[in-house]
Amino acid sequence: AVHVLVPLGTIGHWKHHLTVEQDERFERIFQRKMKDFPLKLAVLQHDCSCYFQRSLLDVDLIEHLDDFEIRDDDVFIITYPKSGTIWTQQILSLIYFEGHRNRSEMVNTCDRVPFLEHSSHKVDHVNRPSPRLFTSHIPYYLAPKGLKKQKAKIIYIYRNPKDVLTSYFHFSNWLVTFEPSDNIEHFMKRFLDGKVMGSLWFDHIRGWYEHRHDFNILFMMYEEMKKDLRSSVLKISSFLEKELSEEDLDAVVNQATFQNMKLDPQANYDYILKSENWTRTNEGDFLRKGTIGDWKHHFTVEQNERFDRIFQMKMKDFPLKFIWDINEE
């Protein structure tokens, strides 16, 4: 179900997987991005290890993503999957669109803030009116070069990876387009090996943070947004240079609460997914729990200790704060 662009430890293994058309397409992208690179390469570089969901991917757009035209007032939500993406779509849509705040316009949030790389809803981005709002899971190295002019804005939402993993496990078992896992142990192995859409969580967040000076970017922690949504909305609107009246701020905060989003068909994706038969069952919701610390109900002591060891090894010098439990300050 996933489109893998990384070899399995042998030279030339790609020949058993790529079609002629896929190979030619890869060559075009490689030549464009690496034309001045002085080293000889015998295998694919690690930067091509991003995983996309083939059934959702707009291949033509990805092929030309480097040259995707960026406007100065574009805004991008960037996340690793299951880190508050839909929530932030709702917040931005409420901030930017009065018709959403006062419910005078019945437009789905996924249409107001569409995914850049997905083809499920073909969007004519070139002719969209400004300001354009986008959502994406892309790693930093696939960002259109126009984003590095540091005028368009990026909001990067990050969440503690134990809860990301737990949410992703349930999500993958619910949607037919994802490979299901029998248990959390099986999914944890895939997650820690980067064999899920979005590839390695560690690489995604480190990549964007370590290249933050290349972009006009605001980092927001999911858990802090949960604890104080009002302050978080103010911080986001300030970054976006969007002034909200007290009445508008109240409307944004109220409609962006988890419980209200679960009840709002424009915001929660449930109707779209179930009506298009993307789910394995009609039971369950796209917005499942949205809590802090749900991993404690799924991880064994050994799994938690193993995850902690890997986290410490990969993130020991990483300066951003993480909250693992609802009671943490």
Q: Which of 118, 137, 204, 298 is catalytic?
A: 137
16 phi/psi in degrees, rounded to 5: -85, 0
Query: Is residue 121 among the annotated active site residues?
Result: no
Q: Which residue has the tokens 């970017």?
A: 217
Catalytic residues: 137
